[in-house]
Amino acid sequence: MRTKAAVLYTPNEPIVIEEIDVASPRRGEALIRVLSAGVCHSEVHVIRGRRPAPLPAVLGHEGAGIVEDVGPDVTAVKPGDHVVLLWRTPCGRCHFCATGRPALCEESAKAGSAGTMPDGTIRFSKDGQPIYHFIGPSCFSQYTVIHENALVPIPNDFPMPVAAIMGCGVITGVGAVVNSAKVPPGSTVAVFGVGGVGLSAVMGANLVNASQIIAVDLNPRKLDWAMALGASHTVNASECDSVKAILELTDGRGVDFAFEAIGQTAVVEQAFDATARGGMTVMIGSPRPEAQIRVPARIMFGQERVLRGSYYGSTRPYEDIPWLVRLYRSGRLPLDKLISRHYPLDEYNEAVRALEAGEVARSVLDIMPM
Ligand SMILES: NC(=O)c1ccc[n+]([C@@H]2O[C@H](COP(=O)([O-])OP(=O)(O)OC[C@H]3O[C@@H](n4cnc5c(N)ncnc54)[C@H](O)[C@@H]3O)[C@@H](O)[C@H]2O)c1
Ligand SMILES: [Zn+2]
Ligand SMILES: [Zn+2]
């Protein structure tokens, strides 16, 4: 069938919004009518050529929609179900899936890097030429095909824009705090970079009753949003030395947990320097492929410091998405405040500009009507 989609052909050139073809779902797959899709910085790394991906590709990895049709042997969802789309497709059988770490699924990583469905083939094309998938969802498209293991059903009356941002930014930020770092109540926390992901980490730290939540950014607008979402202090890193400021706010000790949600290794090093003895520094931001982190080995050793990555919020998505739904509904996760703007699919290039200009916390593309 035909679908209108946002296709990236060449890094640093405008994304083309055009009609392409999408094939029917095969065994274990579903056809989704996409309603909402969030604009995350991870795609922008690809658009700017900082991160490799097979091209041309239908972009979009944070989305929600309605199951339109299913291929043979699908049991997890049925037509009419409302679903969150995941950008990892747990195979359920590899070492990492089997030991409760599906965000690290080996099979999913392979298909994600290859730009294919889990079976190694492709459903999008234009004039007979293949167009790759982008890490699974490819949800900047009116219709997409995705494996059933990458779908999590949600209640039919749940707001689609909120469901969409749960699919990446929210679970990544909240999950980094709750799943990856397992921050205990009363801890002190700093979050470097409070865009969509960092603000979600602030909300996660609030959720686990951190005693101090210090938001660090260069953009005062982002710092205001961080305060509105539960930060206790802000540090504008364009005006001062953020490490010094955090040490001052924590009686010279540093924070128990520091999160980096930008993708700059220099800031990961700052986060490490702002962490207390026995503390943990968590890298959420997506670094360039060639980047290296330097930390003082003697301090790492003598102060029992931990430096770790957090990928997709270390999510166990079939548990975490329903848990986020309940938290939102009980008013404990004010995700509406994260959505600054809505755009039609045709204006994706403008949405990218606004994200890079720091004008939005998160924006959402309204892809199809209900
Ligand atoms: N770990 C994962 O699985 C995962 C998932 C999603 C996104 N990401 C990555 O997380 C990062 C953040 O994504 P996002 O969508 O929130 O982006 P964003 O653009 O919304 O937020 C980035 C924020 O960092 C701030 N910033 C930039 N340089 C800074 C500096 N030197 N010091 C302090 N603040 C600075 C910006 O002002 C902005 O507020 C990206 O690298 C993205 O690729 C990782
Ligand atoms: Zn993302
Ligand atoms: Zn697996």
CATH code: domain of residue 85:
3.90.180.10
In a domain, 177, yes or no: no
In a domain, 174, yes or no: no
Q: Using the predicted structure, report yes or no on whether residue 138 has a pLDDT greater than 90.
A: yes
**Interatomic CA distance for residues 165 and 158, integer angstroms:** 13
Q: Using the predicted structure, report yes or no on whether residue 354 has a pLDDT greater than 90.
A: yes
Question: Exposed e or buried b for every residue in 50-80, given b needs 16+ CB within 10 A?
Answer: ebebebbbbbbbbbbbbbbbbbeebebbeee
240 among known catalytic residues: no
Please enumerate in sequence order all residues whose Cβ is within 8 A of that of 112, keeping only pairs 6 or more positions apart, or say none: 87, 88, 135, 136
Residue pLDDT, tens place only, 33-47 = 999 999 999 999 999
Instruction: Answer with the one of 277, 292, 309 that is the final residue of a domain.
Output: 309
In a domain, 345, yes or no: yes
Which one of the listed residues 61, 82, 133, 233 is annotated catalytic? 61
CA-270 nearest atom, ligand 1: 32
In a domain, 175, yes or no: no
Quote the ligand 2 centre to 167 CA distance (angstroms): 8
In a domain, 64, yes or no: yes
The reply to whether 219 and 274 lie within a common domain is yes
In a domain, 176, yes or no: no
The reply to whether 132 and 236 lie within a common domain is no
The reply to whether 30 and 156 lie within a common domain is yes
pLDDT at 258: 99
Parent domain of 201: 182-309
Residue pLDDT, tens place only, 163-183 = 999 999 999 999 999 999 999
Q: Are 80 and 138 in contact (CB under 8 A)?
A: no
Q: Using the predicted structure, report yes or no on whether residue 262 has a pLDDT greater than 90.
A: yes
The reply to whether 121 and 253 lie within a common domain is no
Q: Please, which pLDDT band fits residue 290 given cuts at 50, 70 and 90?
A: very high
Instruction: Answer with the one of 270, 290, 309 that is the final residue of a domain.
Output: 309
The reply to whether 115 and 143 lie within a common domain is yes
168 among known catalytic residues: yes
In a domain, 71, yes or no: yes
87 lines ligand 1 (CB under 6 A): no
**What value does the mean pLDDT take over residues 90-115?**
97
Residue pLDDT, tens place only, 328-349 = 999 999 999 999 999 999 999 9
CATH code: domain of residue 243:
3.40.50.720
pLDDT at 133: 98
The reply to whether 144 and 221 lie within a common domain is no
Number of domains the chain is built from: 2
- Of all protein residues, the one whose alpha carbon is nearest to atom 7 of ligand 1 is 42
The reply to whether 191 and 163 lie within a common domain is no
**Interatomic CA distance for residues 190 and 353, integer angstroms:** 27
Which one of the listed residues 36, 40, 200, 286 is annotated catalytic? 40
The reply to whether 143 and 206 lie within a common domain is no
The reply to whether 106 and 55 lie within a common domain is yes
The preferred substitution site among 197, 222, 270, 282 for testing ligand 1, maximizing ligand atoms within 8 Å of CB, is 197
pLDDT at 98: 97
How much is the mean pLDDT over the chain? 98
pLDDT at 40: 98
217 lines ligand 1 (CB under 6 A): yes
Q: Using the predicted structure, report yes or no on whether residue 88 has a pLDDT greater than 90.
A: yes
Q: Using the predicted structure, report yes or no on whether residue 157 has a pLDDT greater than 90.
A: yes
Q: Are 83 and 157 in contact (CB under 8 A)?
A: no
Residue holding tokens 């202090």?
Answer: 233
- The CA–CA distances, whole Å, from 344 to 52, 90, 167, 351, 368 equal 27, 31, 19, 9, 9
pLDDT at 370: 83
The reply to whether 131 and 190 lie within a common domain is no
**What value does the mean pLDDT take over residues 265-271?**
98
**What value does the mean pLDDT take over residues 125-140?**
98
pLDDT at 170: 98
The reply to whether 96 and 131 lie within a common domain is yes
Residues flanking ion ligand 3, Cβ below 5 Å: 91, 94, 97, 105, 107
**Three-state SS letters, the chain:** CEEEEEEECCCCCCCEEEEEEECCCCCCEEEEEEEEEECCHHHHHHHCCCCCCCCCEECCCCEEEEEEEECCCCCCCCCCCEEEECCCCCCCCCHHHHCCCHHHCHHHHHHHHHCCCCCCCCCEEECCEEEEECCCCCCCECEEEEEHHHEEEECCCCCHHHHHHHHHHHHHHHHHHHHHCCCCCCCEEEEECCCHHHHHHHHHHHHCCCCEEEEEECCHHHHHHHHHCCCCEEEECCCCCHHHHHHHHCCCCCEEEEEECCCCHHHHHHHHHCEEEEEEEEECCCCCCCCCCCCCHHHHHHCCCEEEECCHHHCCHHHHHHHHHHHHHCCCCCHHHHEEEEEEHHHHHHHHHHHHCCCCCEEEEECCCC
The reply to whether 214 and 333 lie within a common domain is no
**What value does the mean pLDDT take over residues 205-230?**
98
In a domain, 161, yes or no: yes
Instruction: Answer with the one of 309, 328, 351 that is the final residue of a domain.
Output: 309
- The CA–CA distances, whole Å, from 334 to 153, 203, 324 equal 21, 8, 11
**What value does the mean pLDDT take over residues 98-116?**
98
Q: pTM above the 0.95 mark?
A: yes
